[in-house]
């Protein structure tokens, strides 16, 4: 597989699961991703093609990712705890605005003979 040199971002995925009826956020860091966030100056780029959504493409083997997870540019082990003021996911999103997004769209692009098989995650 020949990934271009821009597949070099480090990202953190905060994966949300439920345990005993409570939300639990588990951070995991991945390297070799391709992370892009819309900017007001982008024109005729991948951002426009994605409808203004931020997105991240993960090399295979790809992480487990679900709608509602948070993808952040860079390594970040911050705690997210929905039951503690200041640590809720809404607090995290505010503190990391511009460097993260909540996953809304997931596409498995590993089985269509693409030269760069990957998992796509997009959101706002």
pLDDT tens for residues 94-116? 999 999 999 999 999 988 788 88
pLDDT above 80 (res 57): yes
CA 55 to each of CA 21, 59, 65, 76, 104: distance values in angstroms, whole numbers, following the listed order: 30, 13, 13, 18, 10
pLDDT above 60 (res 53): yes
The residue ranges of DSSP E strands in 3-117, in sequence order, are: 9-19, 22-36, 54-59, 70-73, 100-109
Only one residue has tokens 């951070």, namely 27
User: Does 88 or 1 have the greater pLDDT score?
Assistant: 88
Range with the poorest average pLDDT among 43-47, 53-57, 78-82, 119-123: 43-47
Nearest C-alpha neighbor of 83 from the set 7, 28, 23, 41: 23
Measured from the Cβ of residue 101, the count of other Cβ atoms closer than 10 Å reads 25
Dig out the tokens for 114 from the structure. 């693409």
Residues 6+ apart with CB under 8 A from 101: 37, 53, 54, 55, 70, 71, 122, 123, 124
End-to-end CA distance of the chain: 29
Instruction: Please give the backbone phi and psi of residue 53, each rounded to the nearest 5 degrees, phi first.
Output: -85, 145
pLDDT above 80 (res 21): yes
């Amino acid at each position: 597989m020949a990934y271009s040199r821009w597949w070099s971002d480090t990202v953190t995925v905060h994966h949300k699961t439920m345990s005993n009826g409570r939300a639990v956020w588990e951070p995991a860091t991945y390297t070799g991703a391709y992370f892009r966030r819309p900017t007001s100056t982008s024109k005729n780029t991948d951002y426009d093609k994605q409808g203004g959504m931020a997105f991240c493409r993960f090399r295979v083997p790809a992480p487990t990712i679900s709608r509602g997870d948070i993808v952040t540019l860079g390594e970040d082990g911050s705690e997210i705890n929905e039951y503690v003021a200041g640590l809720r996911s809404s607090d995290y999103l505010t503190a990391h605005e511009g460097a993260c997004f909540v996953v809304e769209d997931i596409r498995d692009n590993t089985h269509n003979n693409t030269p760069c098989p990957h998992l796509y995650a997009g959101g706002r």
